[in-house]
Chains A and B, each alone.
Chain A
Amino acid sequence: MLLAVIRRQGIDIPALCHHEAIEPTGNCRLCTVEITRENWGGWKKYVTSCLYPVEEGLIVNTHSEPVMQIRRTILDLQLANCPNAELIQELAAEYGIHETSYEKQPEGDNCIMCYACTRICEVLGCSAISPVNRGHDKVISGPFGEAPPDCIGCLACAQICPTDVIPWSDKDGVRTIWDKKFDLVACKKCGKTIITREFADFLIERRKLPREYFNICDDCKRQELADKMGGIISQAEEAAL
């Protein structure tokens, strides 16, 4: 796709809904570039570089005035919809916009509808959340607005979200996300927690990993490895004597 080529050239254009782990969908429209060909007689087309295939003879302009106007307006509109999203504030400021020129939405969260969370959940294999409703009322949610039954609490969605709008918490061995509670697997030795039991079960089943791998935490595993190696060394030393 054009975006990969543009980035390789070291040109920086925003692409909020883009992430290497998911298929591009062209939701945010910020990576829009102007393309033309010699035989188009000056006619130009505006396409999202994350999706447009690289073709021989394409002339690409990443920063023409119409393209800058597009990016500015989109960021302006986003600022109206998500006034408190830091990432949008920063990006908009880069394009010279500090206050939105449109009607601000008084409520609402900072979700920019990039779909990164739903796409990563699809790649994971759970598809627990999805966009629901249409148009301005669109939100990301579990089925019927309830806690998604297929969510395994892996936090991929929260981590990939560019504006950090998916709330989650780990407290007293329990993880809460999407109004669902998960038990965290506690290290048998020190009690430290890393992932949820559902996620561990998921990995054990899907990737055929031994259950024992998940019983203790990484700190204790390193100590165990040292102890085991140490034991072998001591035995070898004794045998040598």
Chain B
Amino acid sequence: MRIDSIDKLNRWREECRDNLGAHKKKIMVCLGPGCLAGGSDEILEEFIKVVSDRKIKGVSVEAVKKTGCHGLCARGPLVVIEPEGIFYSKVKKAHVADIVDKTVVKGELIDKLLYADETSGEKIVDYRKIPFYARQKKIALRNVGQIDPDSLEDYVARDGYAALARVLTGMKPQEVIDAVTASGLRGRGGGGFPAGRKWATCAKIDSDVRYVLCNGDEGDPGAFMDRCIMEGDPHTVLEGMIICAYAVGSGQGYIYVREEYPLAVINLQKAIEAARECGLLGENILGTGFSFDIGISRGGGAFVCGESSALMKSVAGEIGEPRAKYIRSVVRGLHDKPTVLNNVESYANVPVIIDRGAEWFASIGTEKSTGTKAFSLAGKVNNTGLIEVPMGITLREIIYDIGGGIQGGREFKAVQTGGPSGGCLPAEKLDLSVDFDTLTEAGSMMGSGGMIVMDDRTCMVDVARYFLKFLVDESCGKCVPCREGLFQLHRMCERICEGRAEEKDLAIMRDLSEVIHRASLCGLGQSGPNPFLSTVMYFEDEYLAHIRDRKCPGKVCRELITYDINDKCTGCLACISVCPVDAITGEKKKKHVLNQDLCTKCGSCYAVCTYDAIDIE
């Protein structure tokens, strides 16, 4: 069915809304990455089977919908019954029949599946009232978790492609650029470059060919916002790109998806084909004469290919190595043509900016960082998951009000943001505003949205070592400051963790960091020393403890800690059975003995002991 006019689109939208509204109840099964790993695909199948068996009036099999990431991954697998928003967490396949018979048919709640507040124990039925959800503001993630990503109808029913229709029939390309500029939208991939300015520069260059690229590489460890948008709401990415293409004058675009996201590729491909079939993508879009097509380019598993010039090389089929960007890619990019490259989340914001206006968007957030930002909240918080909040919110609000505080009631130590290019901020900085500039001034950066919370059982030197190792592995290897510099920086960090460093090493590392930052060819190297620099800025005492006292305050670095069994031991034999090197000996009901010479500090005994009988010093 080809939608070749705005009228047809509007009429179809009404139809889609009616169809969706016809369901008395909707059973939304989250198939986001976390829930999927928890077996929610089987739960979905079971719902389809049970609903089809039961033949409930007003609730057909079409009322069972799979969705993208609903958000509260810590409580997954998640199932939401609409329209009430009944939120069931930690659902198992065995619960499905009950959910259908009791909740869907009779409207009864299943108490043990309801969300219970961490501290008060209070049960909250409607997910929209759970603080984790209530304090969010969804723009880029507006459809993720609410629609079936395979359904173009779902997308259209929720105003999908309305912005595109308005742009193609009622706005000149310059007007689109002006709207995006006025909205203050800055690149959501971490760079924070004003999107409107980028589009304007590209449009002005005299060229017969221009490209519009979407960066779906999302290489930061712990970040999965873009993944959820590509998997859960692929059409918003397409719509954003088409609007951009119209604004700058491009006929061809590509979405670069990292190799590790096969489901995103599948869902995007399905969306592209559905959009093409309806005339919303490809030749003569919506009958307006504007043509633009999108292809998918898959990465090969390299973090460095998230860097814009390396990404464009990879799309062109060449080796993914960055180039010195004194001539920016917006001027000479893919195949040496002017190219706009924006992040997935950036494009997801574009249709909403057009629909609701630049002024509305600019009224959210702060003056210099307008709108909202999606974050993957991970680490030692209670409510790990996918969130979207207005810019200007504080770290404290995110970690405590939304994140529900630190797991196990432990103490907050640091929050890592911005991936390997970012840094760690301590408790004194919790009241900082989360936006493009404030965190950078403090020595970290907001980045693409990865947020990892750490408790007191974390060693900051070990954290620096982890991120440096990551960068050493992911460095393309072309230039010496990054390839050799980060390598040596990592080795020195390792020596600190092993208790083999000297105090002068810190000065050498600081000098080396300065050279790596100044002399590296691309952003990976230029921001490479950040894990070290930010941790040594706020946690220098920990570094000194490793160097001077040969101690690890976070009780992590293996060479510097010892495990031992204290008097609380009841002789239950549990640790003896898990010790991989048989370092523990003892009899039932007699205090066990740990042989220090054999101990590899793996921590298995500590993990399994329920009597608090293992000490780590």
Question: CB–CB under 8 A between A and B in the complex?
Answer: yes
Q: A: which residues have CB within 8 A of B?
A: 25-29, 32, 46-48, 51-53, 66, 69-70, 73-74, 77-78, 80-81, 101-103, 112-113, 115, 130-131, 133-138
B477 adjacent to A134 (CB under 8 Å): yes
Taking a contact as CB atoms closer than 8 A, the residue among B474, B483, B488 that contacts A113 in the complex is: B483
B476 adjacent to A135 (CB under 8 Å): yes
Minimum distance in angstroms from B617 CB to a CB of chain A:
30
Minimum distance in angstroms from A144 CB to a CB of chain B:
15
* CB-CB under 8 A for A130 and B324, given A28-B480, A46-B519, A70-B519: no
Taking a contact as CB atoms closer than 8 A, the residue among A77, A80, A134 that contacts B476 in the complex is: A134
Minimum distance in angstroms from A203 CB to a CB of chain B:
27
* CB-CB under 8 A for A115 and B478, given A70-B518, A73-B515: yes
A29 adjacent to B473 (CB under 8 Å): no
Minimum distance in angstroms from A17 CB to a CB of chain B:
10
Minimum distance in angstroms from B253 CB to a CB of chain A:
27
Minimum distance in angstroms from B224 CB to a CB of chain A:
23
A29 adjacent to B484 (CB under 8 Å): no
Q: Which B residues are in CB contact (< 8 Å) with A136?
A: 472, 475, 477, 483-484, 487
B319 adjacent to A131 (CB under 8 Å): yes
Q: With the chains together, A77 CA to B514 CA distance in Å?
A: 14
Q: Which A residues are in CB contact (< 8 Å) with B321?
A: 131
Taking a contact as CB atoms closer than 8 A, the residue among A47, A78, A101 that contacts B480 in the complex is: A78
> Could you name 29 residue pairs across A and B whose Cβ atoms are closer than 8 Å?
A25-B478, A26-B323, A28-B479, A29-B479, A51-B324, A51-B326, A52-B326, A53-B327, A73-B481, A73-B512, A74-B480, A74-B515, A77-B481, A77-B484, A78-B484, A80-B488, A102-B484, A103-B491, A113-B478, A130-B319, A131-B319, A131-B478, A134-B473, A134-B474, A135-B472, A135-B474, A136-B484, A136-B487, A137-B477
A29 adjacent to B519 (CB under 8 Å): yes
Q: Which A residues are in CB contact (< 8 Å) with B520?
A: 29
B326 adjacent to A27 (CB under 8 Å): no
Q: With the chains together, A73 CA to B476 CA distance in Å?
A: 20
- Asked whether B485 is an interface residue with its Cβ less than 8 Å from the other chain, the reply is yes
* CB-CB under 8 A for A53 and B326, given A73-B485, A77-B481, A131-B319: yes
Minimum distance in angstroms from B600 CB to a CB of chain A:
25
A102 adjacent to B473 (CB under 8 Å): no
A81 adjacent to B484 (CB under 8 Å): yes
Q: With the chains together, A74 CA to B473 CA distance in Å?
A: 20
- Contact flags B289-317 to A (C-beta < 8 A → 1, else 0): 00000000000001010000000000000
- Asked whether B541 is an interface residue with its Cβ less than 8 Å from the other chain, the reply is no
Minimum distance in angstroms from A232 CB to a CB of chain B:
54
Q: Which A residues are in CB contact (< 8 Å) with B487?
A: 135-136
Taking a contact as CB atoms closer than 8 A, the residue among B304, B480, B515 that contacts A69 in the complex is: B515
Minimum distance in angstroms from B478 CB to a CB of chain A:
5
Q: Which A residues are in CB contact (< 8 Å) with B474?
A: 134-135
Q: With the chains together, A51 CA to B302 CA distance in Å?
A: 25
Q: With the chains together, A52 CA to B508 CA distance in Å?
A: 30
A134 adjacent to B304 (CB under 8 Å): yes
A74 adjacent to B302 (CB under 8 Å): no
- Asked whether B18 is an interface residue with its Cβ less than 8 Å from the other chain, the reply is no
**Beta-carbon nearest neighbor of A44 in chain B:** B518
Q: With the chains together, A66 CA to B480 CA distance in Å?
A: 17
Q: Which B residues are in CB contact (< 8 Å) with A102?
A: 484, 488, 491
B518 adjacent to A103 (CB under 8 Å): no
**Beta-carbon nearest neighbor of B495 in chain A:** A103
- Asked whether B521 is an interface residue with its Cβ less than 8 Å from the other chain, the reply is yes
A77 adjacent to B477 (CB under 8 Å): no
Minimum distance in angstroms from B159 CB to a CB of chain A:
43
